Structure 1
Amino acid sequence: MGNTTAQPARAPMPPPPHAAPVPIEPGPPPTPGTRTWLARLRPFLRVPLFYKILLANATIVALGAAAGTVVTASVWAAPAATFRLVAALGLAGILLSIAANAVILRIALSPLRELEEVASRVQAGELEARAPRSPVADRDLERLTATFNAMLESLSTYRRRLREMAARNLDAAEEERKRLARELHDDTAQTLAALLLRLRLARHTTDATARDRLLDEVREEIANALDRVRRFARGLRPPALDMLGLDAALEAHARSLQEASGLRIEVESTRIAGLLAPEAELALYRIVQEALANVLRHARARRARVRLARSGSDVIATVEDDGVGFDPARAFAEGGLGLFGMRERAAYIGGQVEIDSRPGQGTRITARIPIPENTAHAL
């Protein structure tokens, strides 16, 4: 295993560069007078949208009607009775306009009320609630309703996948316990029982040659049992990860997969010891492990490559293969829990997983794990 320079099946895409943040100059602080006016306006600004619009329209209509009445009376020099009649008609017009505005606004804003009601129902636990399509909604409100429902569907799908992944993890853990219990009972326990019998037999054997032969057999069986117990422990947690680091553990895992499956696996790594916390190293190890397992199960590949390196403030692990590829969107839609699990593992430690694949063009999985700030500054 180790560092290789074999020609890849296709040139890897370079990681996207980190865009430098654009500094934003803070604006001047509000003056005391501005803060006073904001404090006075805050009760009015907290009025519901319906009443804000209605009050604004009513104010405009009232000012227009009053100005029209005053201008009419002054230009025409109408008598007081005529002025009162015009004023009454203006007031009636104002009231009718306000009523019409109220009805129109109530109808026009009804889709927003429905969105609010659906959000409250979802918050109360009615997770399958969705906003209905309103016949009075304009194009913008229809787009808002569709986006709102799509967000709820995404959250529902996310929760369902979390439940499925949790159930699968529980099943896997239970199966692992059963397997260990079975192997310990049927293998290790039986071996130890047989060793006890042989030791008892050797104890009562008077022939020194026969006794030495029995003790040699017992010693050999103890060594075999110890190897099996160590193999059980390696299956639970790779010892190389704690003793040698992430890069050496990945090389050891790739070597064992290559020997067992015949798949050619190249590992290219730079030393990243001390950059990640132990839980982040374990999560990245499991992500690469799952990616290689997917290559063996689905890709029908002849070669795979694992690359591990530091890039800026991140540690990046890439797993590529020259297999049949797949459609990631379709795989997620069909419940690809392995892919979903990799992304969740990365998200738990603040990272992300990118999946680049197309049918017939192989697959590239990139895990990007951030280096803690104190570590990044120290190294």
Structure 2
Amino acid sequence: MEKLITGEDQILSIITGAICLLILMALAIIIFFYFSRKKIIKTQLEKANMEIAHQKEVLQSTLITQEEERKRIAQDLHDAISSKLNIVSLNANFLTEDNITPPEANTIGKHISNITATILESSRKIAHDLLPPTLEKFGLEAALEELCEEVGDTKKFEVHHDLSYSEAFLDSDRELHLFRIVQELINNSIKHSNATQINLVMKTGENQLYLQYRDNGKGFDVVKAQQAKGLGMSGIKNRADILSGILHMESSPGNGINITVKIQR
């Protein structure tokens, strides 16, 4: 009888131990899944926070770019139009004087006519820079081709371009941002680089746009250029961010620049 009881106690102990082991294993699994899920949620939150931070940076970059452009347009309007209109107004006042002679009036009239022609040309150029009519009417490829030809026609630069763009690859707003990138790169080459050659390549594949810009100018320190304030290279980077593009910039003193932009559809 004692042996039977002892055997039952052993079986009960085994069953109890097995149940405890199963409970421990279940708890371990629950704890594992709990912490795994917690880690996944934490990772997702970190990713979401990074995305929000990136969107804030892009928005801030957009506002900075717009503000710099407003300042540049305001300066252009002041330099090219307002100051000249003051001269026109001054000369017009001379015409109202009683003692003015016909030859003097004729000279002042010609002067006013010449200044007015200059103002009209400046206005046309400012309007063209704000929204290139070729871009609006004929698209990005035609606008970039026109831009390259305008620079080449000055005979100060040897400009080569290889452009192949699938219509509507980008929407009109994004096309304008890409056009501004190229426009700013060319402006930098003209104003600062002492370059004699400019090369522009643009290709579109099924899902990616590739743009490369090179010149043979004096180059610059990339790190300093990226840290510099103002429209310049920071404006180019801002626009690339707005386009969700990958901007790669290569340059060093004496070696020109090589800039690529890759944009996914």
Q: Normalising by structure 2, report the TM-score.
A: 0.64
Please give the residue correspondences for 1:40-189 in structure 2 after superposition, counting only pairs within 5 Å. Answer: 81=5, 84-102=8-26, 104-105=28-29, 108=32, 111-112=35-36, 114-116=38-40, 118=42, 122=45, 156=50, 160=53, 162-185=55-78, 188-189=81-82
* Native 8 Å contact 2:141 2:165 kept in 1: yes
| Change beyond 3 A, Cα 1:190–1:343 | closer
1:217-366 equivalent positions in 2, closer than 5 A: 217-255=111-149, 264-269=158-163, 277-289=171-183, 292=186, 303-309=197-203, 311=205, 316-320=210-214, 340-347=237-244, 353=246, 355=248, 363=258, 365-366=260-261
Q: Sort the Cα spacing of 1:212 and 1:355 in 2 relative to 1 into closer, same or farther, 3 A.
A: same
User: Is residue 210 of structure 1 aligned with residue 134 of structure 2?
Assistant: no
What is the alpha-carbon distance in structure 1 between the residues aligned to residue 170 and residue 105 of structure 2?
Answer: 54
Query: How does the TM-score come out when normalised to structure 1?
Result: 0.49
Change (3 A) 1:300 1:273: same
Offset, 1:301: 6.7
One-letter code of the match for 1:286?
Answer: R
Decide whether aligned partners of structure 1 residues 315 and 183 sit closer, same or farther in structure 2, where only a CA change above 3 A counts: closer
| CA-CA distance at 1:208 after TM superposition | 3.3
Give the CA deviation at 1:310. 5.4
1:266: Cα distance to partner? 1.1
The answer as to whether partners of 2:139 and 2:167 remain within 8 angstroms in 1 is yes
Measure, in 1, the Cα distance between the counterparts of 2:80 and 2:217. 38
Q: Is residue 161–residue 337 contact of structure 1 (8 Å, CA) maintained in 2?
A: no
- 2:89 corresponds in structure 1 to 196
* 1:312–1:213 CA distance, 2 compared to 1 (3 A): same
When residues 166 and 297 of structure 1 are mapped into structure 2, their CA distance, relative to the original with a 3 A threshold, is: farther
Structure 2: runs of 5 or more not aligned: none
- Report if the CA contact (8 A) 2:215-2:256 is conserved: no
CA distance in 1, matches of 2:161, 2:250: 20
Cα distance change of structure 1 residues 112 and 358 upon mapping to structure 2, 3 Å threshold? farther
Equivalence for 1:55? none
User: What are the Cα deviations for residues 314-347 of structure 1, in whole angstroms up to 9, with x where unaligned?
Assistant: 6654434568999x9x99x989956753543434
How far, CA to CA, are the matches of 2:61 and 2:242 in structure 1?
15
Gap regions ≥5 residues in structure 1: 1-77, 128-150, 371-379
Kept in 2, the 8 Å contact 1:325–1:357? The answer is no
Please list the CA deviations of residues 252-309 of structure 1 after superposition, one character each: whole Å capped at 9, or x if unmatched.
4335556889554311235866776433432332343355567779999764321245
Structure 1 residues 293 and 105: CA distance shift in structure 2, 3 A: farther
Q: Is the 8 A contact 1:284 1:367 kept in 2?
A: no
Separation in 1, partners of 2:240, 2:73: 28
Flag the 1:113–1:299 CA change in 2: closer, same or farther, 3 A: farther
List per-residue Cα deviations over 1:84-139 (Å, max 9, x = no partner): 3344223221233134325544665564255156358x4xxxx6xxxxxxxxxxxx
CA gap of 1:257–1:184, structure 2 versus 1, over 3 A, is: same
C-alpha separation in 2, matches of 1:169 and 1:261: 35
* Residue identity in the other structure for 2:258: T
- CA change 1:106–1:299 in 2 (3 A) is farther
Cα distance change on mapping 1:283 and 1:114 into 2, 3 Å:
same
Give yes or no for contact 2:248–2:260 (8 Å, CA) kept in 1: yes
Q: Contact (CA 8 Å) 1:269, 1:307: kept in 2 or not?
A: yes
Residue 267 of structure 1 aligns to a residue whose secondary structure is strand
**Residue 239 of structure 1 aligns to which amino acid in structure 2?**
P
Which residue of structure 2 aligns with residue 140 of structure 1? none
Greater length-normalized contact order (CA 8 Å, ≥ 6 residues apart)? 2
Return the structure number with greater strand share: 2
CA contact (8 A) 1:270 1:310 kept: yes
CA RMSD of aligned residues (A): 4.9
